[in-house]
Chains A and B, each alone.
Chain A
């Protein structure tokens, strides 16, 4: 009561005035976009992916140099043509020779750009796919506890966004070499042509550089703001699309439109600002180029007049000036690309360096046909961290062909036991034996073939119904798929789908009902035809009609197999050969239904409450039990 009062008095809207609690869209989790410009560790790690393409890198660099040189030499050739080929006293045929040389340079330029762009582009793409493949492959092996605590969206942005900015970096870094070369080349060529005129003209370069850098920080902030505002608006649109039914049901459309209008206006303003900043550079650059050209016109003109330089030099200067800004622009852009790439690279290496939790022992052997379907827990203690074991000294054995129901309140360690059988995690103490072998001594692949699993939430992949039932059991032909579907009672509804077994499932099978999805996941386990079936029964209430089908399918699935079922439903439990009751990580009782009823323990209490689902009253019962125990 006291608690309530405090929070009430702290509430600023209790004075009768209310603040609107409405928003559309939401802030996104932002990640650091720009990192340090250079990070040795990251660079070394990424270099490992570039190394296989060393030859291509070499070709790229050579061709980019050739390309830049050919570009640099064109104004020089024009100058040469003017000063030596177009004078009245020029020997006949010299102009043709110069133009032939020009043609040669142009041909070099053509070949170099063709080779450079295509080699660099392909290489960057290849490296990108290699990195992605390495990450994806690695994620198949890292421990499930990492996967459990990492959002899929986060990993996806590593696999996509971060990998892409790495690619952008690789592609442009070769060009950066060309740009630096071009900039220095222009400066050198001008100095060589006439150092005095060059120095006069070159004063604009530092100005340009400074202006550009000053501008960049401001512009970048504006671009980011525009980008951010745009993403927020798009996020709100996505929300409206996904949540349209809720919006209409709660009659929020007009208020939302108003709020969205505000977001749109914010975006507009941010974009206009960014646009203004992006354009402001144009007159500045033009003014600087204009003044450089003016300098050439006056100083160069006077030099020509005093015959200090030839007129061709003046023309060449005018050509070079028009190219000044390009390398400066791309170099400053490259700077941002590099920062972004380092931040991305850092995140990529983080994924690549996640520890692989469970690995095959070097001398691991395969579980084969000869190994039976028994499962044994020997003094198993396990926890996701050392301090809080979720299973404490658990011992039990399930014989080949036996069906055991595992029951217990939420948090009793049922799901962890299931995960241990499949060696999703390694035990802290004791051992889990499958087919008489410690799971740590067999290969994970063979373990996977020995055990089929049905998870609580049926998970379907995009693809046809057939592909989903077959999944990884490549050996199963279409007949086997249909057989399995018939066996679990899914055949009828599959046949009723528009394209039968070839019907494509929508995302996660959302065009099927929960019951239907469950039956498909049963069929998938049946096709896998493993000796041991581990099943986590769904807790959600399904209508009784579908429930009936699922019960039948379950029985069919368990025929001739060892079954370990985390059971919630009485019907499932009653059909098991044996029941194991877990509570707070300990095995508290086991036996068949009659024996446990006689024993009068936790199971008997649960049973007497006559609930259809065994999960219904876990808290109270376990509390009660705790009080009884103390």
Chain B
């Protein structure tokens, strides 16, 4: 069953590809993430248990069925013993042969009942797990999608995938592998021991003698295996990363004739994983063999001492058979005691991580009295806006920025790398909230507006255009999935994407994204522009989103968007001055502040930073570069 739902390999693969690889391994989760701090302990277990009992009917049924199944399970050795005794009694003519039929029927009914109760027990327990998984999945998904950029900046995507997939499994399995199993084992050993010990103290003690040893070895083994499994996952993560990087970078490998070097890396990663694999086999084999040995040793003792008691007539042969069969029934659950302990250990760490994520409070949220933005004039106004990452006020990424832009206006933003341009652009759609100052659209502070209405009013073409693995059509319609085909084509034409799309095998139906047809950098950016145009926002932001588009195409996009731009504020961040020199106003930003502003011509006349940059781009030559460098 486990194989059907949990495929660790696939998850590992997903984690590894998402991960920077070396951090693979669930145990190292969130080590670097100050944002989520899991408290491992009983708290998580208690909470998971409460979650399970949110389905009281199924959970209760599972527990009740467990009790019934155990009772049936225990009755079978007793009935078998009776069968043996009765057979002898019939032989000695002390009983009627017909009574054998009654015993056989009893045996059959007890078996069937055991089967049915076990079915109910397992199915109910598993369905509780699956139902919990559904709830957690929805909670995790909603949380991840709504946690702000600041959270995602600090949290590795691979860690989130591990939480959402592997930790989910750990919690899902809790009810069936830990809780129900505890009840099962407790009852089986408790009732069984009472039964055996009350029947015959010596034999009972001998029969149960393997239980503590096997339970202990099993627990030790499981916990050891779990520890090494986590390390092994990490090492396999390294191995798969070595292979993956090698294959993805095969041109570099060939260019540097580095296959020897790569094979050495591979061998090292491979050996360390293999060695640990061997250790795991050793741990498993040694312990399971020891458990079997203990079991058979106890059986040998029961056979010897029981045999002597049978000979002396102290007990019947049937009683001995009852003891022996009870032992073989008990063997498997006892050996799985470790799985139960492991179930608790796993649920507690996995649960702690999951809850840490689910409980994480979002810093950018709807205010209690948040209202939808009402767009009338479409005026964007920033007043004295400052922002620092991690709330570190000494290193402000944006400080004291004020400007206003009205409908139809285009504002260009330019400045050296790291000057805070993108940060500023991320404040306007409330990806982050400013530390000081205010951003207003038509006089309404965006912090008082609902996030959803802000995001609809402010659209950003981002630097890194993530494409969803679906058709081009669906990607363009992402923001407005109810749109019509001709509208999709319209925006694609404006973004100069239409012709490229027609060149693709499936046209607008071509699947792109991670697992689809790979597009060139320029095509991706044009697709990203197209899908943003779909939004018809009051403020449209191009955040350095045309770097891979050639100047000619870019100018065609600009022309196509002339009418579109009339109805909104357009902000353009770019390195290439040609991309923004037509703007109504250009802001030159340095160290998070506006140092120059004005139209292209005004700024050239000013002869300052902007003019320097312009010179540099118009006459790129080495001599000039050297001169600039010296001049600094």
Contact = CB atoms under 8 A, between A and B. Distances in A.
Nearest to A233: B137
A252 B478 contact: yes
B274 A129 contact: yes
Contact of B485 (A14, A289, A301): A14
19 contacts: A13-B485, A21-B482, A86-B310, A90-B311, A125-B274, A136-B266, A139-B250, A152-B244, A240-B145, A248-B145, A250-B531, A287-B111, A293-B107, A304-B88, A311-B317, A318-B84, A452-B256, A455-B252, A543-B417
B328 A253 contact: no
Interface string B261-275: 111001100100010
A482 B18 CA distance: 31
A109 B294 CA distance: 12
Nearest to B98: A298
A245 interface: yes
Contacts of B33: none
Contact of B5 (A125, A157, A245, A274): A274
A175 B62 CA distance: 34
A539 B547 CA distance: 9
Contacts of A295: 104
Interface centre among A4, A26, A239, A447 (most CB of B within 10 A): A26
B300 A117 contact: no
Q: Which of B19, B257, B485 counts the most A-chain CB atoms under 10 A from its CB?
A: B257
Given A26-B515, A86-B317, A252-B478, A237 B161 contact: yes
Nearest to A552: B625
B341 to A, nearest CB: 22
A599 interface: no
Nearest to B119: A279
A113 B292 contact: yes
Given A20-B481, A88-B311, A314-B84, A548 B466 contact: no
A275 B311 contact: no
| 5 tightest A-B CB contacts, nearest first | A448-B257, A290-B111, A286-B115, A283-B115, A472-B258
Contacts of B3: 223, 227
B552 A617 contact: yes
B483 interface: yes
B87 A238 contact: no
A447 B277 CA distance: 39
Interface stretch (A195-203, A255-263, A396-404): A255-263
Contacts of A13: 484-485
Contact of A260 (B116, B138, B473, B613): B138
B5 A230 contact: yes
B118 interface: yes
A20 B482 contact: yes
Interface stretch (B281-289, B394-402, B563-571): B281-289
A524 B261 CA distance: 15
A161 B477 CA distance: 35
Contacts of A159: 240, 243
A234 B474 contact: no
Contacts of A68: none
| Interface of B (DSSP majority class) | helix
Contacts of B521: 540
A298 B138 CA distance: 56
Interface string B234-249: 0000001101111111
Interface stretch (B123-131, B348-356, B375-383): B123-131
A319 B622 CA distance: 90
Interface string A24-67: 01101100000000000000000000000000000000000000
Interface in A524-563: 524, 528, 534, 539-548, 551-552, 555
Contact of B256 (A137, A241, A248, A448): A448
A137 B246 CA distance: 11
Interface in B318-338: 320-321, 324-325, 328
A321 to B, nearest CB: 10
Nearest to B463: A245
Contacts, number: 515
Interface stretch (B9-17, B41-49, B179-187, B196-204): B9-17
B80 A293 contact: yes
A297 B83 contact: yes
Given A159-B243, A471-B258, A271 B130 contact: yes
Interface stretch (B453-461, B580-588, B596-604): B453-461
A140 B11 CA distance: 27
B605 interface: no
B244 A280 contact: no
Contacts of B452: 251, 254
A291 to B, nearest CB: 6
A133 to B, nearest CB: 7
A460 B266 CA distance: 17
Interface string A179-191: 0000000000000
B544 to A, nearest CB: 9
Given A147-B247, A235-B14, A261-B138, 19 more contacts: A14-B484, A26-B513, A95-B308, A109-B293, A113-B288, A117-B289, A249-B460, A257-B145, A282-B115, A283-B112, A287-B115, A290-B115, A297-B103, A448-B256, A472-B257, A472-B261, A474-B261, A540-B547, A617-B550
Interface in A117-170: 117-118, 121-122, 125-126, 129, 132-133, 136-137, 139-141, 144, 147, 152-153, 155-157, 159-161, 164
Contacts of A298: 100-101, 103-104
A613 B550 contact: yes
Interface stretch (A205-213, A378-386, A569-577, A583-591): A569-577
A339 B97 CA distance: 50
B393 interface: no
Interface in B510-566: 511, 513-516, 521, 531-532, 535, 547-548, 550-552
Interface stretch (A99-107, A428-436, A622-630): A99-107
A459 B249 contact: yes
A14 B103 CA distance: 75
Contacts of A279: 118-119, 122-123, 126
A307 B87 CA distance: 10
B165 A237 contact: yes
A268 B131 contact: yes
Nearest to A220: B4
A304 B22 contact: no
B119 A283 contact: yes
A513 interface: yes
Given A106-B297, A164-B9, A575 B622 contact: yes
A265 interface: yes
Nearest to B101: A298
A18 B311 contact: no
Contact of A85 (B1, B254, B300, B307): B307
A26 B470 contact: yes
A508 B172 CA distance: 34
Contact of A109 (B111, B114, B240, B292): B292
Contacts of B4: 222-224, 226-227, 271, 274, 278
Interface in B440-461: 451-452, 455-456, 459-460
A18 B484 contact: yes
Given A257-B141, A275-B1, A251 B247 contact: no
Contacts of A449: 257
Which of B87, B296, B416 has its CB near the most chain A CB atoms (within 10 A)?
A: B87
B194 to A, nearest CB: 23
A152 B16 CA distance: 13
B429 interface: yes
B235 to A, nearest CB: 12
A102 B483 contact: no
Contact of B247 (A81, A102, A122, A156): A156
Contacts of B466: 242-243, 245-246
A231 interface: yes
A294 interface: yes
Contacts of B240: 156, 159-160
B123 A241 contact: no
Contacts of A314: 83-84, 87
